[in-house]
Amino acid sequence: MKHMLLVVGLFSATLISAQKKGKDLTLAEQAKQNLSVYEVKNPFKKTKRVALMGVDVSFRLAASQTVGNERNSDASSRTWVTLNPPPSAELMQEITNEHYARLQAKLAAAGFEVVDEKPLQQTEEYKNLISDKERLTVNKTWGMAARGSANEAAMIDFPNFAGGAHARLANRNEVLVWNSHTLLDFVYIDQTKTRPVKGVINMEAAISPAIIIHSSTLELQGPDYSTFKTSFHPDKSVFSNQPFHTQIKSCTDCIPEFTERTKGGKLLRESVIVLSRGRAGDNPDFKFMFQVESDYAKYKEAALDALDRYADQVISLMK
């Protein structure tokens, strides 16, 4: 356990160092390094009026990562990390609403006019954008996340063709129609697989808790079929270095319920081996499980800090 904590400490130091290195760049330079931009007809020259029609945040509650193919490899390693306690529905809504309010202030400070989206929510164009997607994402190989919308609005999706309801909404109201979806992750997972000698396989897993954004999409539809979209470059992210966790612990009984599986009519739980070394034999299977104990107040601070950093970078590109 001491060795595991040492590894985690070293990995955390790497994250903080990367954050400091990023501070040497201007905001726009950081944004260009992290985010790709797709633009048609520069919508910001058409209007400065913005309607925040969709501001969604997903909260990752459990994370999974696998090294090696669990079916075809001679050895695989899966790491599970759970957040305890997970953010409550009330806390997720608070964070999402506050993110919306801060976006309004940041856009206004950047010279945009943020218009009231409520009248636009009554239009047929908006109603045609409402999505019926599930708010809970559950996947054995990735984990679990819950999605919230600012002010408990409906989720919306933009169609893939230029003349859709989003374009009609922008054209008829002379506004930039904003739709963003940001995933808040809570942990980095680092796994390694080595073969020191024939017949022996070493697997190691280490984690570093941090509120990180490495998946986010923003779509802005402007008048005259103008468009602005951003998403992260591969392996790029924005994160908060504000700690939100009280401790990290390994565990044998904290695997999320949705990862349970049946075999031969009996329910099986995945076994856990923490920092297992030198396990040999046919098709060895390594499992690591950690639990990140979190503090609600600190989690909210770190989440909003990461969302602020991301919003600042995005808005710096809106010119």
pLDDT, tens only, 141-172: 888 999 999 999 999 999 998 899 999 999 99
Task: Please write the tens of the pLDDT for every residue from 185-230.
Answer: 999 998 877 777 776 777 788 889 999 999 999 999 999 999 999 9
Specify the DSSP class assigned to residue 156. Answer: B
Burial 86-125 (b: 16+ CB within 10 A, else e): bbeeebbbbbbbbbbeebbebbeeeebebbebeebbeeeb
- Total domain count for the chain? 1
Domain span at residue 89 reads 2-316
Among 17-31, 81-95, 250-264, the minimum mean pLDDT is found in 250-264
Whether the Cβ atoms of residue 8 and residue 206 lie closer than 8 Å to each other: yes
Greatest mean pLDDT among 236-240, 258-262, 287-291 lies in: 236-240
Whole-prediction pTM: 0.85
Residue 273's pLDDT is: 28
DSSP category for residue 130: B
